[in-house]
Structure 1
Amino acid sequence: MTNDKNTIEKKYSLWIVLLSIIIPLAVAVLFFVKIPNATPLTFLPPIYATINGVTAVLLVLAVMAVKKGKLKLHENLMKIAIGCSLLFLVMYVAYHMTSPSTKFGGEGNIKYVYYFILLTHILLSIVIIPLVLITYVRALAERFDKHKKIAKITFPLWLYVAVTGVVVYLMISPYYNF
């Protein structure tokens, strides 16, 4: 049985590495690619900010479910949270490929707070990609001891990224040019 579990982890390890590299690189490149004559998708930021908020709630509910021994509920909530994160990513890229970047217009200390939150949000959003994938694969492989160990790191970082995604949106939303 242990060999089957190792096989599952090995089967996905290349995918985890590839996706952990490709996703951030693709987002970085696509951020600078604009679709000529595209209609700006200006309606997306509040939607993907809401999806970040929903993801944060799902993560908290999933942790509560597993602590109460509701493993199937935990699994389903985590799958939905991963789906929400993927949906966010697609919308975020689509928005930035069709719309000009918005500059933060705040002044004074709030500007430093905004850029600190934004920078940590971006850096940790890159870090959580492999963490989420590894955590998920360990559950898939039924390596729950290893799953639990990494989930203790993944959860707070992913929650921070989801919550700060909403905060960044709320802080920059007055400066959108719609």
Structure 2
Amino acid sequence: MEMEQKKEPYKKLIIALSVVIPVAVAALFGVEKIPGYDFSFLPPIYATINGITAVLLIAAVVAIKNGKRILHERLIKVCMLCSASFLVMYILYHITSDPTPYGGTGPLRYVYFVILITHILLSVIVIPFVLFSYARALAGNFARHRKLAKITFPIWLYVAVTGVIVYLMISPYYSQP
């Protein structure tokens, strides 16, 4: 047991966060909205943050492939901050605003929902991947970090890119204040 803890020192915390975050976000859609606050300006900001995350993730991979470990570390830390900022803004928006239904029709409607559903599912799945990848790097377990990061990167990149796509597809249907 002690050896396992050394391998994954933050295992219990990561598992807890990996459950609590998606449950809290899902609960947002079942709670009454908090009146009197207008955070309708947030969706384009958090969509932009998703786009920045995608670019920085690619830059982080390029950095590590070129042997620039410190740059890679810094870029990943910024990506994690961007993702955390996104989450806070997403929560603020959704606890104060009604959900925006997609108004498109025809085949584009199906494309939107496929992208949205895969985005949502993978955004839940990516949480432990990101946190375990990061924890392994912090612990200096670079072999296990690299192995997991090869799975984490495409999922995280997909979530970041599809976050932008979902925003662009739904933005015409946001109600104007």
Q: TM-score range by the shorter chain?
A: over 0.9
Tell me how far apart the structure 2 counterparts of residues 112 and 133 of structure 1 sit (CA, whole Å). 32
TM-score, structure 2 normalization: 0.95
Runs of 5+ unmatched residues, structure 1: none
% identical aligned pairs: 58
Read off the aligned partner of 1:72 and give its amino acid letter. Answer: I
Do 1:9 and 1:137's aligned partners in 2 also have CA atoms closer than 8 Å?
no
Tell me how far apart the structure 2 counterparts of residues 51 and 20 of structure 1 sit (CA, whole Å). 21
Among residues 53, 56, 59, which one is paired with 1:58 in the alignment? 56
Shift of 1:7: 4.5
Read off the aligned partner of 2:133 and give its amino acid letter. Answer: T
Match of 2:45 in 1: 47
Read off the aligned partner of 2:132 and give its amino acid letter. Answer: I
Tell me how far apart the structure 2 counterparts of residues 66 and 80 of structure 1 sit (CA, whole Å). 15
**SS of residue matched to 1:94:** helix
Match of 1:10 in 2: 8
Match of 2:173 in 1: 175
Shift of 1:40: 2.6
Among residues 153, 157, 164, which one is paired with 1:159 in the alignment? 157
**SS of residue matched to 1:41:** coil
Read off the aligned partner of 1:51 and give its amino acid letter. Answer: I
Read off the aligned partner of 2:88 and give its amino acid letter. Answer: V
TM-score, structure 1 normalization: 0.94
**SS of residue matched to 1:11:** coil
Written as runs of structure 1 = structure 2, the 5 A alignment for 1:1-150 is 7-150=5-148
Residues 90-113 of structure 1: CA distance to partner in whole angstroms, max 9, x if unpaired?
000110111111010000100000
Shift of 1:6: 5.7
* Pairs aligned (count): 175
Shift of 1:35: 3.9
Shift of 1:8: 4.6
C-alpha root-mean-square deviation of aligned residues, in Å?
Answer: 1.5
Shift of 1:39: 1.9
